[in-house]
Chains A and B, each alone.
Chain A
Amino acid sequence: MSGVPVLSVRDGHKRFGAVHALKGVSLDAWRGEVLALLGDNGAGKSTLVRCISGVHALDEGEIRLDGEIAAISTPSLARRAGIETVYQDLALFDNLTPAQNFYCGRELSFPSWLPLGLRFVSNRAMDREAASVIDRLKVKLPKFDAPVALMSGGQRQAIAVARATVFARKLVILDEPTAALGVRESRKVLDLVRQLRDEGNAVILITHNMEHVIELADRAVVLRQGRKVGELKPDRGNQHELVSLIVGAEA
């Protein structure tokens, strides 16, 4: 690994009132690499993700993309900078169809000289594109034109992951993408993660599943109570150490 990391967070702090959720976290993510972000419930993983994807702003510290200080103060700026996120709560719109969900916030539309909100939607193009992606990813959906509300937990998760994969250009963050998934569905998501990495994206994967970490992650960063407490290359041998880092007991 040479050159500059795709993403680098330096000494990031984030407070929510009295809660000090991030206390000086630093991490790097590299192209073609899966970085596991680990930690117990409430460790600050989702908060870090939401700072990187523009939902929250860091109170202190900096975020660099490809070495440049990045202005990602809003989610749309982050997305434009090539950061795709699968949020822990999936961020799906129950009342919209899969295709509408895919393109929500960056609709295919015309004419291009108008601001996005005032343009007309190209429904057919969006349906066609989304259908081909869903097909390619072998996601089974009951009906393509039904609202997402009518779909199962696994299908919804698949849609959220698929949405991020389509637009992935640089960095993809997945916040517990296999939570609530069965073995088979988890497999599919892991395959997607691998594919994203092979396409040259940097991937940040949050999960509580150690098997998945050891199988996929090139590197693991562990957070505890808002602090980075360790970074290592996960394998069968140090699985135990990894778990101790997460829960805080000395190995």
Chain B
Amino acid sequence: MLAETAREPDATSGARGSQTHAQSASPVTVALRLLNFGPLLILAILIVVISLLTPNFLKPVNIGNILAQTAVIAIVALGQQLVILTRGIDLSVGANLALATVIGGLTYRVTDSGALVILAMLASGTLVGFINGAVFVFGRLPHPFIITLATLSICKGLALELAINHTTMRGMPEAVTLLGETSPLGVPNSFFVVLGVALLVFVLTKSMVWGRWVYAVGGNPKAAVEMGIPVKWVLVSTYAIAGLCAGIGAVVLSGRTAATSPLYGNLLELDTIAAVIIGGASFLGGRGHLGHALVGAVMIGVIRNALNLLNVDVFYQMIAIGLIIVLAVEADVLRNHLEARARASQAARTQ
């Protein structure tokens, strides 16, 4: 704040000269626009380059594979995106998903009802998310990092303890395995789940007051309190929805594999955080939309798939994704720098 206002007099004194160029785009705004489309651009370039390298990449079967493999990351990343919008982070999504599948697997042992199995997984995911949010907010923690790290550990331990023989359990009701199948349109059914979740998140964030508040809380938490927004409940509900997304991810994953396992969801927190950041959302809060999570998830899916097709070692995949995260975060820093510059010149123009 102080820095901004301090810069202002300079901006006004330099104003007169640039007045004639008032409406033409400056290099700064062009660069900003490029940065905003950067992830999509990079994805397009990636796809072109990879398809030149391996002709198998664009085959319908492989695209179906990518979609199926990306579905879980995309769904859980949509929830992660909401949390990151509020300046938070949810490290527990992977373990949450694992626990949810185990709960689903156990439910299947006592009932054949697909609906009940699905409901159990969704409820388990949502409950863990709710606990994350409630402890963070009402326990007055300075940052959600610690509590979600704690629930990561707890969920993982619970999932291992609860799972029969502490390992993967085979079998899922038909209603769930259906999600692993390919629709007559050629795309996996899980793709439609992604669409559904995306639509839901879209309505929540763009059309509902709740979504506006999520952006407000992320943009300026102190002001959100001063403007009378129920910040605590916005945060708790955000974490609960992120948990619900992990639960939906659990349904999709156990559908694809027809199994449930405490080992599922390993490093999913990394993948989803990476997806959101690579996709172009900001860690600084209040900036980003669901497109970022989706583009980022597809990018991760495409990179993994390409490296697989090219027979690159799994370890290098991890390194590659790590490097891309660094690039994405730097792009975020650059964007904030450019915005500060744009602010100065905007101020100049309107004087």
Interface positions of A (Cβ within 8 A of B): 53-55, 74-79, 85, 87, 89-96, 100, 104-107, 109, 116-121, 140-143, 146, 149-156, 179-180, 182
Contact A92 B223 (CB under 8 A): yes
> Which residue of chain B has the shortest Cβ distance to A108 in the bound complex?
B209
Interface centre among A55, A120, A153 (most CB of B within 10 A): A153
Instruction: From B212, B216, B285, B346, give the contact of A152 (CB < 8 A).
Output: B346
Pick the residue among B12, B209, B342 that contacts A117 (CB under 8 A): B209
10 A–B pairs (Cβ distance < 8 Å), ordered by A: A91-B226, A93-B216, A95-B285, A105-B228, A107-B212, A117-B233, A121-B207, A149-B339, A152-B350, A180-B8
Q: How far is the CB of A107 from chain B (nearest CB, A)?
A: 5
Q: Who on chain B is nearest to A105 by CB?
A: B227
**Beyond A87-B226, A93-B223: 11 further Cβ-contacts under 8 Å?**
A75-B228, A104-B216, A104-B223, A105-B228, A107-B212, A118-B209, A118-B210, A120-B209, A121-B209, A150-B342, A152-B347
Q: Please name all residues of chain A whose beta carbon is closer than 8 Å to the beta carbon of B12 when the two chains form the complex.
A: 152, 154, 182
Closest to A89 in B: B1
For residue B229, which residue of chain A has the nearest CB?
Answer: A105
- Chain A residues with CB below 8 A from B53, complex form: none
Contact among B210, B226, B347 for A85, CB-based, below 8 A: B226
Contact of B286 among A76, A91, A93, A109 (CB under 8 A): A93
Residues of B close to A77: CB separation below 8 A: 228
- Determine the chain B residues whose CB is within 8 A of the CB of A94 once the complex forms: 219-220, 286
Contacts of A100 in B (CB 8 A): 212
Interchain nearest-CB distance for A129 vs B (Å): 15
Once the chains are docked, how many angstroms separate the CA of A67 from the CA of B36? 54
Contact B11 A152 (CB under 8 A): yes
Q: Are A74 and B5 in contact (CB under 8 A)?
A: no
Is the CB–CB distance between B208 and A120 below 8 Å?
A: yes
A96 and B9: CB pair below 8 A?
A: no
Q: With the chains together, A180 CA to B347 CA distance in Å?
A: 14
CB pair B287 A95 closer than 8 Å: yes
CA distance A53 to B287 in the complex (A): 28
Closest A-chain residue to B7, C-beta based?
A153
Compute the total of residue contacts between A and B using a CB distance below 8 Å. Answer: 130
For the complex, is B218 an interface residue (Cβ under 8 Å from A)? Answer: yes
Give the residues in chain B near A107, CB-CB below 8 Å: 209, 212
Inter-chain contact B209/A119, CB cutoff 8 Å: yes
In the complex the two chains form, is A149's CB within 8 Å of B209's CB? no
> A150 vs B347: C-alpha distance in the bound complex, in angstroms?
8
The answer to whether B286 touches A95 (Cβ under 8 A) is yes
Residues of chain B in range 222-246 having any CB-CB distance to chain A below 8 Å: 222-230, 233-234
How far is the CB of A2 from the nearest CB of chain B, in Å?
Answer: 32
Contact partner of A79 (CB less than 8 A), chosen from B212, B228, B346, is: B228
Q: How many angstroms from the CA of A106 to the CA of B229 in the assembled complex? A: 8
Which of B210, B222, B347 is close to A89, meaning CB atoms less than 8 Å apart? B222
Known: A95-B218, A142-B350, A153-B4. A121 touches B208 (CB 8 A): yes
Task: Provide the residues of chain B in CB contact with A85, threshold 8 Å.
Answer: 226
A93 touches B220 (CB 8 A): yes
Q: Is the CB of B220 within 8 A of A91?
A: yes
Q: Which of A76, A118, A143 contacts B208 (CB 8 A)?
A: A118
- Measured between beta carbons, the chain A residues less than 8 angstroms from B215 are 93, 95-96
**Is B349 positioned at the interface, with any CB of A under 8 Å from its CB?**
yes
* Contacting residues, chain B, for A143 (C-beta < 8 A): 346
Least Cβ distance of B12 to chain A in Å?
Answer: 7
Contact of A75 among B213, B220, B225 (CB under 8 A): B225
5 nearest interchain CB pairs?
A76-B228, A152-B347, A153-B5, A105-B227, A91-B223
| A118 and B4 alpha carbons, distance in the complex (Å) | 35
Residue of chain B at shortest CB distance from A116: B209
Report B-chain residues with C-beta under 8 Å of the C-beta of A117.
Answer: 208-210, 213, 230, 233-234
Does the CB pair A55–B347 fall under 8 Å?
Answer: no
Cβ of B343 within 8 Å of any chain A Cβ, yes or no, is yes
Q: Complex formed: what's the CA distance from A107 to B208 in Å?
A: 10
Closest A residue to B213 by CB, please name it.
A117
In the complex, chain A residues whose CB is within 8 Å of the CB of B349: 142
* Complex contact B347–A151 (CB within 8 A): yes
**Alpha-carbon distance between A118 and B210 when the two chains are bound, in angstroms:** 6
- Please report the C-alpha to C-alpha distance between residue A79 and residue B342 in the assembled complex, in whole angstroms: 34
* Residue pair A155, B347 in contact (C-beta under 8 Å): yes
Smallest Cβ distance from B299 to chain A, in angstroms? 24
| In the bound complex, CA of A151 to CA of B222 (Å) | 20
Q: Residues of A contacting B223 with CB < 8 Å?
A: 87, 89-93, 104
CB distance from B62 to the nearest CB of A (A): 38
Q: Which of B6, B209, B216, B230 contacts A96 (CB 8 A)?
A: B216
Residue of A nearest to B340 (CB): A149
Q: Mark B271-305, 1 if CB is under 8 A from A, else 0.
A: 00000000000000111000000000000000000
| Cα–Cα, bound, A186→B277 (Å) | 41
